Amino acid sequence: MAGRARTERQPHTFVLDQDLVERARREVGEMDMVRSIEAALAAAIDYNSWVREVRDGQRDVLS
């Protein structure tokens, strides 16, 4: 991340649909489900940060 300060992660609370969680638990197993949820949430948070930084002129849209 050359040229910009590293963004500290903040704790977030998410409410997951119980039926989707149960289906994922049955279809892919507990550990894979947890890893997938963590990865999706981290990507959503990173994307939101990227959008904010581009909007505020802190980074280029291609960076």
Give the integer Cα–Cα distance in Å for 11 and 7: 13
Predicted local distance difference test score (pLDDT) of residue 4: 54
- How far does CA 9 lie from the centroid of its chain? 10
Per the model's pLDDT, the better-predicted residue between 23 and 4 turns out to be 23
Mean pLDDT of 17-37: 88
Neighbour-count burial for 12-29, b at 16+ CB within 10 Å, e otherwise: eeeeeeeeeeeebeeeee
Q: Which two tokens stand for residue 47?
A: 């994307």
**Paired tokens of 46:** 């990173």
Provide the pLDDT for residue 19: 93
Mean pLDDT on 16-32: 89
Are 63 and 57 in contact by the 8 Å Cβ rule? The answer is no
Which is more confidently placed, 59 or 3?
Answer: 59
Q: What is the pLDDT of residues 30-44, one digit of tens each?
A: 888 888 888 988 898
Q: Whole-number mean pLDDT of the chain?
A: 82
